[in-house]
Structure 1
Amino acid sequence: MSTNLTLDHASQLRVSILTLVLLGISAALIGGVAAFLGASAYGLLYCSFLFALIIFADYRKGVWLLAFLLPFASSQLVPRELFEITGLNPFNILFGLTLLSLFAASAFRRENIQFVRFPTTFWIYVGIMTLGACLGVGSVERAIVLPNLEPLTKTAYLLDFAKSMIMLAVAWLAAVLSRSGNGRPVIWALAAAYTTFFVVIAGYFVIDGISLQGLAAGDRDFLSWIGLHANEIGLLANIGFAILLHAALATSAPWSRAILLACAGAAAMMAALTFSRAAFVGIAIILGSYMWKQRGMGQFLLALFAIVMVLLLLPDAFIERASTGLATGDQQAITAGRLDLWLVLIGTFWEAPIIGGGLYSTLWATPNLRGLMLPVAHPHNAYLAVALDLGIVGVVVVAAFFWSVWRTFSHLSKHHVDPQWRGVFEGCMVGLLCLAADGFTDGRFTPTPPQAALWLCYGLALGHQAQSRGSIKRPPP
């Protein structure tokens, strides 16, 4: 007994010393920055300091906030930099504080934290992306300059790659959180994020008086102020819609179920308001998958009736946008000019068939440099992008990795002991289908902002798999 008391006292002493050291360092840094920036920065720094202490006291609060901010992280809704310092932004600061809090809690044994290991397929996937970035950085200086954008630099290129790695690191934090049995707040953070995002977009429509007929005619830049293309927002919304809908349907508590359904509805309306045809396809996949899995005829007919009523009540602008080019059979209208782009770029695959031309290689593809195609940054086809950027090796690695992700979600959706988590991971499977469908006309199979919810849930899945053997059955060999 006396030994245990001595150990507890020593542990508390170490924590107290660490806290004092951190307080001293933080005070010195704040004093130095305030002296550099002037008195106007005192209020902001003081609030940031208090915020940092809250996160340092409990890393879970930091993970929740990261999960909430991740869908917004690459948009203009979150400042890209503070005090004109590249890389210094609220998300990166929050990420650093959360990591510090987690490692401090583990090192000083404030609680029993068990870290989670990513599978081998994940590390091979990260390795091929890193190789692609290393190959690409040598070609950045040859990249075309896109209209209304600054020339791409090696620093900007590597920072963009670093954002993908940070997204994976946040997924790892979610895995650590879920292994300790506290992963559910991440789902609620996503629900809050999607609802907030929908309110922002809907508010913009109302305040600016956006015309639905104008959007149906093909105006694709109406959401450019957010910093994401309408197609990207559509994929982001659909993945959230799939996850939240299935989580809600698997929730037994009435109020929780109602709130999650409302948040899922917000995500669906957000996808519809993008007027992206890929988003419309995603909505159809989600609703079709839900109907397909209805075992009772009554539930099936009820779901079918609800979907038909929604379609009948939709403004004509949505139907007009969804059917663009179908009546005349115009391939250019149906593909929005993508067909010509694909035909031009396919031939460049043979320039580097084994390992590709590097991430984002479309920017320095030969037809792009010679002006033989529209100046674009990506081929508007995720499958073609993998082949051009990472070659045959990348195609095999990416396919194997996403197959392993599918198997992970599939296993947990069938064998998890908690019905709500089974619903979450079933929604993740549908989200993967949306990603696969979206890949035919847009997107990438490397981590991008629209995939934020999917990566967070992948981290949650790994955390659940790593829990005690008694709670989840072992996955099949």
Structure 2
Amino acid sequence: MIDHPVPQSRRYKPGGSGKLTAIAGVIALMMLAALFGAAVPTLGALVPIAVILASVGLWVMLDFRVGVAFAVVIMPLSPLSFFPREMFGIRGLNPLNLILIATIVSYVVHAGLRRWKDPIAPGRLLGWYILPILVACLVGMNNVDLIPPRFQAERLIQFNTATSYIRDVFIKPQFLVMLSLMVGLSVRHSKHPEKFMYLMLASGWVLCALMSWLLVTSGMSLRQLASPLARTFLGKLNMHANELSLVLNMLYALTLFSIREEIPSHIRRIFFVSAILFAVCVLMTFSRGGFVGFILINLIYFWKRISVKTVITGVLVAACIGPFVLEPILERALTGVEGGDRGAVTAGRVDGIWLPLLPYVLAEPILPHGVFSILWSPPVRLNKMLPVAQTHSAWLGGLMDMGLVGFGFMLAFLLFVRREFMRLSKEHAVPALQGLFAGGAVLVPLWFIQGVTDDHFTPTFAQSYFWIALGILMGCGGVFRQKKKGRDPNKFKAPVFPTDEYGNIRKVT
């Protein structure tokens, strides 16, 4: 089994090498500043961008953990509308991809020079999770020609060939897995891996600030925002309300469970304020799936951490927030319930998506149909269902795309990960990480619950904090296959003494 502490020989030493790195960084930045001053008059606005990228790239090459830190902050924000999708006219070239690639190169260089022998990827991750996705993608790439052209015309998808299909549905999502692996490697070479939580908080605060700005500048009341007609309001951030609720619920769970008596009081206060902020923003998405996930997190928390102090704090927070948001939240949660309108309750999912797809799924449930197989499914091609590009159910989509075998392996991996989170929440020596892992154990059931009406079981940006937390778990020894310790077969056998015909032990002379 991988030990939690990293051997001193494999850590970054804060002595001479750190000073040399700092000196080299300062000299490099001075040279870049000189080049910047000379080039601006001739090249214009491209120079600041190039200088910033070069500076970050140099910093990452000096210490690969810097690139991991940048990526942890950027990854949850990368789907937002303000984030660049291309640079210098090259599609796919964006700051996040550049940082990840530079980070990988930096790690390979340092690992070679320092002779690190880190385990990179757990076998279960590759065999139980990545392999079923790859097989499903190989099946799906043969059906791209069957996709109705309206999906590309309406920009619901950006692929029309087998190559672009593999790029969008397999390679791009694996950047989340790649980040998770790099976080794990960075944790193994960090003295205080619990500080990764601060990076997640930073990205969460930025996301909440953007949401708050939209809410304040909209001029709409909370009741109007809760209306079914306002479901596309948060689309200005390029994320659906259901996606925002999942990403914020995951961060809320990690933050809430990280509040422990053993950590410093000022850190507890930061976590407490952050948890309240994330909770309010989850409620402001007015996502009914988000509401259910939020309730699940709090039920598990009170079940695990029940105490007089916890109850009093919860009641006080609810009393302060409830009067302002309770009415619009209830109105949104009960949409369609009063009139018994199934279409309003499920937003058309049952009759418009799930029931038309069900015969297609059950006809061949064992083998995969391909990732995003809804695009070429008969109900879509024959216009017998809503013209949507996803099943709006991770469970139905997972079964249809991966088949029963592949989907079963994926679920088995996620349940195994949850068990590892629970194990290290009790066994790890650092209290802050114990809380983080306790929150990580909640992410899988949260994903399962919110996946009933949205998201996928393949990697998506709404799961960013799950993959970051998984990276921290792997860096601390979780998920990797444990070595079976050898046992002496005679170790627990009782000694045998000679006895007489009555069963009494004879004296040995």
TM category (shorter chain) comes to 0.7 to 0.9
8 A Cα contact 1:106 1:113, kept in partner = yes
8 A Cα contact 1:116 1:466, kept in partner = no
How many residues align? The count is 446
Structure 1 distance, partners of 2:128, 2:193, is 26
Indicate whether 1:158 and 2:166 are aligned: yes
What does 1:258-407 align with in structure 2 at a 5 Å threshold? 258-297=269-308, 299-304=310-315, 306-307=317-318, 310-340=321-351, 341-407=353-419
Structure 1 distance, partners of 2:43, 2:363, is 54
Question: What amino acid sits opposite 2:407 in the alignment?
Answer: V
Bigger CA radius of gyration = 2
What does 1:460-475 align with in structure 2 at a 5 Å threshold? 460-465=472-477
Indicate whether 1:435 and 2:447 are aligned: yes
Structure 2 distance, partners of 1:143, 1:236, is 30
SS at match of 1:234: helix
8 A Cα contact 1:356 1:388, kept in partner = yes
Post-superposition CA distance 1:261-303 (Å, at most 9, x none) = 2222222222112111111111111111111223434533543
2:243 pairs, out of 219, 228, 232, with 232
Structure 1 distance, partners of 2:158, 2:87, is 22
Indicate whether 1:188 and 2:198 are aligned: yes
Task: State the match for 1:168 in structure 2.
Answer: 177
Question: What amino acid sits opposite 1:174 in the alignment?
Answer: V
Structure 2 distance, partners of 1:92, 1:330, is 45
Task: State the match for 1:43 in structure 2.
Answer: 48
Question: What amino acid sits opposite 1:45 in the alignment?
Answer: A
Indicate whether 1:81 and 2:81 are aligned: no
Task: State the match for 2:501 in structure 1.
Answer: none
What does 1:110-121 align with in structure 2 at a 5 Å threshold? 114-121=118-125
Task: State the match for 2:470 in structure 1.
Answer: 458
Distance 1:433 1:143, change over 3 A: same
SS at match of 2:403: helix
SS at match of 1:373: coil
**How far apart are 1:59 and its partner, in Å?**
1.1
Structure 1 distance, partners of 2:325, 2:137, is 44
Distance 1:227 1:158, change over 3 A: farther
Indicate whether 1:210 and 2:210 are aligned: no
Structure 2 distance, partners of 1:421, 1:188, is 12
8 A Cα contact 1:246 1:424, kept in partner = yes
Post-superposition CA distance 1:417-438 (Å, at most 9, x none) = 1221111111111222211110
Post-superposition CA distance 1:135-156 (Å, at most 9, x none) = 1122122223237326632344
8 A Cα contact 2:361 2:399, kept in partner = yes
8 A Cα contact 2:122 2:479, kept in partner = no
Question: What amino acid sits opposite 1:189 in the alignment?
Answer: L
Task: State the match for 1:6 in structure 2.
Answer: none
Distance 1:136 1:251, change over 3 A: farther
Question: What amino acid sits opposite 1:152 in the alignment?
Answer: F
Structure 1 distance, partners of 2:93, 2:208, is 27
RMSD: 3.0
Question: What amino acid sits opposite 1:128 in the alignment?
Answer: P
8 A Cα contact 2:128 2:412, kept in partner = no
8 A Cα contact 2:369 2:400, kept in partner = yes
SS at match of 1:327: coil
**How far apart are 1:450 and its partner, in Å?**
0.6
Post-superposition CA distance 1:56-103 (Å, at most 9, x none) = 111111111100011012232311111221111010001111111111
**How far apart are 1:251 and its partner, in Å?**
5.2
Structure 2 distance, partners of 1:314, 1:61, is 40
- Name stretches of at least 5 consecutive residues in structure 2 with no aligned partner: 1-16, 486-509
Distance 1:466 1:358, change over 3 A: closer
4+ residue segments displaced more than 6 Å: 472-475
SS at match of 1:139: helix
Structure 2 distance, partners of 1:359, 1:45, is 37
1:409 pairs, out of 408, 417, 421, with 421
Task: State the match for 1:8 in structure 2.
Answer: none
Post-superposition CA distance 1:161-186 (Å, at most 9, x none) = 21211110110011111122442232
**How far apart are 1:240 and its partner, in Å?**
0.5
**How far apart are 1:306 and its partner, in Å?**
3.6
Query: Among the aligned pairs, what percent are the same residue?
Result: 28
Structure 2 distance, partners of 1:419, 1:115, is 25
**How far apart are 1:311 and its partner, in Å?**
2.8
SS at match of 2:81: coil
Structure 2 distance, partners of 1:47, 1:387, is 45
SS at match of 2:476: helix
Task: State the match for 1:5 in structure 2.
Answer: none
